[in-house]
């Protein structure tokens, strides 16, 4: 069944994961970038779309769906042949796929935010928040690096959208001054992600949307 899709996303935001998923699926979709530095995510118009004032938000036939994890699972269910996740053999596999999404989004996405945008977590001195974010995120990277020691991608030989979700997280920590050099398997995983055509298309689309919207707002 075809759907009318429109993604609200942000520049360098975690909506990149959903954008990459849409590029992987390959169906037509509209996109609308939200300019954070202009406060568009808290504007009355956007709050009508997503009252939480966050991206991503995928409009599906006029109805909003928020949270990366939910959007990715919905896309996989609608377009099962696109390869967003491995084909699950049973309910256990499906639960494992959901588990890793929740681990990222609820478990430690907030650490990345502490590193990249510590001002979101404190009205005081940001440096102790950033440092604590780095400590906590280091533990996550130790775990991820160990998992990637004997396999190319999170689920094995095949890429899944979970790999791009990890990629988005560690790249964003780097924007906050985090040094990724100690984690060798992550460096390899990063290069493998950045070679993906669907990720490159998503980044190009995000960049074009950002520049066009900024020009419009100038
Ligand atoms: N758990 C949500 C997190 C969404 C989220 O925090 N998005 C950030 C961008 S990475 C955002 O919109 N932040 C704006 C704000 O919190 O004010 C998801 O995975 O979709």
* pLDDT > 70: percent of the chain: 100
What residue segments make up the domains of the chain, in order of their start?
A: 5-83+198-217, 91-196
Residue 130 beta carbon below 6 angstroms from any ligand 1 atom:
no
Q: Which has the closest alpha carbon to 215: 19, 76, 33, 59?
A: 33
Secondary-structure class of domain 91-196 per CATH: mainly alpha
Query: 4: pLDDT confidence band, cut at 50, 70 and 90?
Result: very high
Nearest ligand 1 atom to the CA of 104 is 19
Q: Is the pLDDT of residue 149 over 90?
A: yes
Residue 14 beta carbon below 6 angstroms from any ligand 1 atom:
yes
For 104-136, how does the pLDDT look when each residue is reduced to its tens digit (9 = 90+)? 999 999 999 999 999 999 999 999 999 999 999
Total-model pTM? 0.97
The residue ranges of DSSP E strands in 79-129, in sequence order, are none
Q: Which pLDDT score is estimated for 1?
A: 73
Q: Which has the closest alpha carbon to 63: 79, 45, 50, 76?
A: 50
For 23-33, how does the pLDDT look when each residue is reduced to its tens digit (9 = 90+)? 999 999 999 99
Residue pair 118/130 in contact by the 8 Å Cβ criterion: yes
CATH of domain 5-83+198-217: 3.40.30.10
Do the domains 5-83+198-217 and 91-196 sit in the same CATH topology, yes or no?
no
């Amino acid at each position: 069944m075809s759907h009318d899709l429109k993604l609200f996303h942000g520049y360098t935001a975690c909506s990149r994961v959903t954008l990459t998923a849409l590029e992987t699926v390959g169906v037509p979709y509209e996109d609308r970038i939200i300019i954070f530095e202009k406060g568009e995510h808290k504007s009355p118009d956007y709050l009508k779309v997503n009252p939480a004032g966050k991206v991503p938000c995928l409009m599906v036939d006029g109805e909003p769906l928020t949270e990366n994890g939910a959007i990715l699972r919905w896309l996989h269910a609608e377009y099962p042949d696109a390869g967003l996740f491995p084909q699950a053999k049973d309910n256990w596999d499906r639960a494992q796929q959901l588990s890793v999404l929740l681990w990222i989004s609820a478990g430690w996405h907030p650490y990345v935010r502490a590193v990249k945008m510590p001002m979101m977590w404190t009205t005081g001195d940001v440096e102790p928040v950033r440092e604590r974010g780095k400590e906590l995120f280091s533990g996550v990277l130790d775990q991820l690096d160990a998992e990637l020691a004997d396999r190319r991608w999170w689920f094995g030989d095949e890429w899944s959208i979970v790999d791009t979700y990890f990629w988005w997280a560690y790249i964003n920590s780097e924007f906050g001054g985090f040094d990724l050099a100690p984690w060798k398997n992550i460096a390899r995983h990063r290069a493998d992600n950045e070679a993906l055509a669907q990720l490159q298309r998503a980044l190009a689309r995000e960049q074009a949307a950002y520049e066009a919207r900024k020009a419009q707002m100038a």
